[in-house]
Every structure is written in C-alpha cells, then in structure tokens.
Structure 1
Amino acid sequence: MWADSVRLIEVWCSIAVMNTSKVWGGQSPQDRSSSRRESLLSAAGALLGDGGAVAVTMRAVVRAAQLSPRYFYESFASREELLFAVHDRVEDQLLQRLQSVSSSGDLRDAVRSSFEIIRDFFEEDPRRARILLREPLADDMLRSHSATRIPIFTRAVIQLLAQGHPEVAEATGGDEADWMIRSTALSGALISLYLEYTDGHIDVEPDRLVDAAVDVVYALGGLRDTRP
C-alpha cells in the first residue's frame, strides 16, 4: 500500500515536470513566462497612465492582463517592483528614441531636436508623460525611484549630445555631487515647464515650448551659445 502511494506520487511529479518543460503552441516555458510578464507590464502601464499609482494593485493588474493571480509573483516580487519596471520601461523607450539625435551639427539644434523628440513621444501617448513626469510627484515610492534614475537618464542624454561637442563635457564636469545638483535642478525645471503647459497654464504653441526648454538647458546647464 505504501509502495503504491509512493509510486503514485512519483508519477504525479513526473507529469508536473513534463508539463512545465513541454512546448505548448510553439512556446517554451520560458517564452510563456516572458509573454505573461509582458502582459502584466502592459496592463500595469495602462493602469498607471490612466489612473495613477493608486490604480495599480495586484488584483487590478492580473484582471486587466487576464491572468491568474499566481502568475503575478512569477514575474514580480511586489507591486513596487512592478511600478518601477513600468516606469523604467517607458524611460528606456524614450532614451531609445533619443538615439536618433544627430550631434554632428550645431549644438543648439541638437538640443532642440532632443526636445522635439520628447514632445512627440509624450503627445503620441499622454499616459507616458503621466508615468514619467506626474506620478513620481504624487507617489512617494515612484518619487524615490525616479530620483535615482534622473541623473542616469540625464547623463545618457548628455553623452549623446557631447559627441562632437566638447563644450558639453566641459559644462557638465565636476564631481558627482555637482552633477546631482545640476541634473536635479534641470529635470525639475523642465518637468514643471511641461506639466504647466499640459495643464493649460502656459498657453503657447508647441514650438515655443521647445524653444523655452532649450533656453532652460543652456541657462541651468552652463552652456554658452556660440552662434552669432
């Protein structure tokens, strides 16, 4: 009797192992796990962009992703980890767009081109602006996370612009504390400018907003306009 029970358990375990390693619908277990993670990220991104951080709960995310709650913890250890992943993914998408900026010409034109890309990125899907700009001001956890990401993101953009423009590297030199101060002041001013614009408190054409953003970069970034 005992031997039969042990044998039955062994059979069940073998079936479980086979099911977890079997290819279904042309997808391996790793592929299915990645697909579920992507579904969770997409669902959380829509919730965060539409309703803010308070709308992103484990129950709401799995319901929107049409997944069982057990799959949430397959990909994310906590709600906070999911929020950070959504924020970072949108940030990475924006940085990828900025890779197309040409730094071979006039520096001011390159800076302006960067802000045109950022403007278009947010206008394509306003939820992106809420995820990257507004929610970090409203949610304590996102604010702390965003504060650690801002210097990294700003440095990456500066490195793009610095190619062929040594004056950028000179203006952004100094120790790490100096860089933190500059990047925080710069990002704070630009975020405030954009949010005031989207809230309708600054009634100007989009091109004028971009011009203002460029002026902020030159003023706070310590850059000199060498154009005649």
Structure 2
Amino acid sequence: MAGRITPAAGRYGGRSASERQAERRARFLRAGLDLFGAEPGYRATRIADVCRAAELSTRQFYEEFRTLEDLLAELHLHVNDVAERSVLDILPQVRHLEPYDRYTRLFRAYAAGATTDPRHIRIAFVEVIGVSPRLDRQRLNRRARWIDFLCAQARDAAERGHIPDRDYRVTAAAFIGAVNGLMHDWAVGWVDATLDQITDELLSMLLDRLHITPPPPGHRCAEMR
C-alpha cells in the first residue's frame, strides 16, 4: 500500500510477524492514550514524542499509522467502544425493568464506562474536537449511534405504554448534545462538579424529557437490589 512501510515477515524471538506487529501497535496506542489523554494533549504531541514514549522508532510508527491523526482516530473509536460495551453488557439485565429503573441503570452504566479512565474522557470529549473534517465525521457518526440507541429504547418503552408514543429523535439528539457539551466543559475545568453531580444532572434531564417520573416513596430502585 502506498505510503506504508511493510514490516519484516517471519518469526523472530519466538514470535510471528503478526504478533510483533500487534505488540508494537498496542505500545503506540498506550503511548497515544497517555500523551493525548493527559499531558501534553494531542495538539502539543509530535510523532517523535509518541515513539519515545512507546520506546519504538519512527519507522515502526509508519508501519502502523500514516499520521498522528490516525492514532487519535483509533483511540477515539476505542474509548467510545468501551463506553458502548458498558451499556450493551447490561442491556439484557434491564429489559424487563420499569422505565425509571431501566434508564437509570443504562445511563449509569454509560457514565461508568465513559469515565472509567480520565484519559478516555479527554480523548472522547476534548481532544478530537476541531482536529479535521474526517474526525468531525467520525465523532458525529458515533453520536448518531447513541441517538439511534436512545430512539430504540424510547420506541420499546412507548410500545409497552410506559411513555408517550411519539418521535423521540430530536429529544435524543438534544440529550446527546448536552452530554457531550457538559462532559467537555467538565473535563476542561469550566464546570466545578463531581462526577456524581454530572451524572445525576444528565440523568434527570433524560428522565424529564421522556416524561418518566420518579418512583413513589418507599420504592427501592432495581439498581440497589
């Protein structure tokens, strides 16, 4: 492929070429996660910095990535996948629950997955913004997946008679925009709040827009059972 350096084939040190390549790629990804997700951030990082942190050469970098942006793009997908898996893993356990309990557990699972690592927060909500049209498209595509997920959950709740039957796409898009905006401002220090406060505020917004009321006094939320 033009512009790429082909790594050496064959076994070396008891490992195949594909195993060595996978290890190199993982080291570059760990280095990128540290540098982009903490200090100095994507815009102040150079390929030489990544190579130094990974203890690999620039030649090896170009065997894996064309540009530094490629590394950021892969990390952005990775941190989104972590958050998505947190939600999908719990989905089968909450399908039978009433809306308040179901949405509470789903959103708290998302919040836990999205914030499990402070570096993930920075990459997902700060570092990718405004980098390039390509990354803007990737970011918006991942937001669209969350919008589709919320719409699917709303349709299911409406079919059960738990919430009003209407088109929730604008509601879902507005909520996802609020999540991204508030998480960005919190990550860069513009909002002084704890993670629990951020999570509770966003969850309250979602439940309110879906017209899901809190359970009566004495109700024990399923997430605490």
Is TM-score (shorter-chain normalized) higher than 0.5? yes
Which residue identity does 2:31 align to in structure 1?
A: A
Aligned-pair CA distance for 1:205: 7.4
- Two-structure CA RMSD over aligned residues (Å): 3.1
Q: Do structure 1's residue 217 and structure 2's residue 206 form an aligned pair? A: yes
Identical aligned pairs, as a percentage? 25
2:178 is matched with which residue? 189
1:154 is matched with which residue? 147
Aligned residue pairs, count? 200
Q: Do structure 1's residue 36 and structure 2's residue 24 form an aligned pair? A: yes
1:127 is matched with which residue? 119
Aligned-pair CA distance for 1:124: 3.3
Which residue identity does 2:65 align to in structure 1?
A: F
Structure 2 SS opposite 1:67: coil
Bigger CA radius of gyration: 1
Which residue identity does 2:41 align to in structure 1?
A: G
2:191 is matched with which residue? 201
Which residue identity does 1:139 align to in structure 2?
A: V
Aligned-pair CA distance for 1:146: 1.0
C-alpha distance in 2, partners of 1:169/1:225? 10
1:70 is matched with which residue? 59
CA contact (8 A) 1:76 1:82 kept: yes
Change in CA separation of 1:32 and 1:157 when aligned onto 2, cut-off 3 Å: farther
2:157 is matched with which residue? 165
Which residue of the other structure, out of 13, 19, 22, is the alignment partner of 1:25?
13
Decide which moves more: 28-37 or 134-143.
Answer: 134-143
Change in CA separation of 1:182 and 1:157 when aligned onto 2, cut-off 3 Å: closer
Change in CA separation of 1:26 and 1:62 when aligned onto 2, cut-off 3 Å: same
Decide which moves more: 196-205 or 30-39.
Answer: 196-205
Change in CA separation of 1:204 and 1:71 when aligned onto 2, cut-off 3 Å: closer
Which residue identity does 1:39 align to in structure 2?
A: R
2:3 is matched with which residue? none
Aligned-pair CA distance for 1:131: 0.6
Which residue identity does 2:191 align to in structure 1?
A: H
Aligned-pair CA distance for 1:28: 0.9
Aligned-pair CA distance for 1:171: 4.7
Structure 2 SS opposite 1:131: helix
CA contact (8 A) 1:40 1:61 kept: yes
The C-alpha deviation readout for 1:166-192, integer Å capped at 9, x for no partner, is 55895556xxxxx4x555422221223
C-alpha distance in 2, partners of 1:30/1:170? 52
C-alpha distance in 2, partners of 1:89/1:164? 28
C-alpha distance in 2, partners of 1:136/1:39? 21
Change in CA separation of 1:157 and 1:56 when aligned onto 2, cut-off 3 Å: farther
Q: Do structure 1's residue 85 and structure 2's residue 107 form an aligned pair? A: no
Which residue identity does 1:185 align to in structure 2?
A: A
Change in CA separation of 1:197 and 1:87 when aligned onto 2, cut-off 3 Å: closer
Structure 1 SS opposite 2:199: helix
CA contact (8 A) 1:112 1:210 kept: no
Structure 2 SS opposite 1:137: coil
Aligned-pair CA distance for 1:129: 0.8
Provide TM-score, normalisation by structure 1. 0.72
CA contact (8 A) 1:218 1:224 kept: yes
Which residue identity does 1:201 align to in structure 2?
A: V
Aligned-pair CA distance for 1:62: 1.4
